[in-house]
Copies of this chain bind each other. A is one copy, B any other.
Amino acid sequence: VQSRRSALVVGFDPFLEWMPASLARELERECAALHGSAGQDGSGLEGAGQPRPLRQAELLQAAADAVVRWGEGLIEACGPHACAIKLQLACFEQLGGPGWEAARQVARAAQAAGLLVIADAKRGDVASTMQGYGRALFGPVPLPGGVAVAGLECDAATLHPYMGEDSLQALAPWLDAGRGVFVLVHTSNPSAGQLQGQRLADGTSVAERVAELVARWSARWRGRCGYGAVGAVVGATYPEAVRRLRARLPGVWMLLPGVGAQGGRLEDLPPAFDGAGLGAVVAVSRQILGAWRQAPEQDWRQACRQQARELREALEMIRHGR
């Protein structure tokens, strides 16, 4: 945030429906060609719209390649205005093995551009399984015979708190080595309060209790700026929660999603930042990814860059209390 002078996290949720028109047309042509050629040899179709396995692999690869082009263009356009990119893993997993490898490629492109990479994975499991997720998301992955391969090599990942600190504890070796996590505290969605808003016997809410746990965990991995490696996800769609939780999250980075399409507003976010303009990063996905729709005659990257620049500038005003 300090060196890049930006608290903006570009959210890359590559739902194919949101793909810029020029990239989507290109992919559509490729899919039609693959699908058509599968039909022409008389053996490619197993029911309406269902290609056979060979074509399936080629179609997934074509879609994954398009997602990589999209991600690389986005990073080139918006990277200079952001501190990090957040990859929505669901969108990559849709595309199977090629999708997972696409996430790896986009992560590498982002890091080459100086961005941190946050895997929006929302994992949370028992310790042994979390070790597997740690390897998958952060790496390396040991293979038999003393060989190791890379994982996704992300810098941080999002985490569910429901199973308690076992889920976090298993990631300790990665936190020791400088990686980070963001634990879900108060999420941005409409039904967030259904469980997170329940009041405990002492009057605190479930989200507030989770915030206390996160603050305690984060203190174990405190960095130079006074903030720890365990952050908190707090939806920008609940500004009152942002304000209240800030007080329960001393030394904890807040990752604030929900600005734009989900209804969160930048002007509600000043309480998330400390006096030095630190303590929070703001993740924006659809508002940046969909910016090209406002100017369809322009290069899509221009529109995304312009949107990212405006968001960054607005956040810099907030960070510096202006």
Contact = CB atoms under 8 A, between A and B. Distances in A.
A93 B152 CA distance: 9
B195 A164 contact: yes
Contact of A123 (B96, B122, B164, B191): B122
Interface in A49-104: 49-51, 56, 59-60, 63, 88, 90-91, 93-101, 104
A193 interface: yes
Contacts of A319: none
Interface residues on A, range: 35 or more
Contacts of A163: 184, 187, 189, 191-192, 195-196
A115 interface: no
A201 interface: yes
A151 interface: yes
A109 to B, nearest CB: 14
A124 interface: yes
A49 B54 CA distance: 34
A32 interface: yes
A195 B162 contact: yes
Interface stretch (A136-144, A269-277, A294-302): A136-144
Interface string A135-178: 11100111111111111100000001111111001000000000
18 contacts: A13-B128, A15-B132, A16-B142, A27-B143, A32-B147, A49-B146, A49-B147, A50-B150, A63-B143, A90-B136, A93-B136, A94-B141, A97-B98, A162-B162, A166-B189, A166-B190, A195-B210, A200-B201
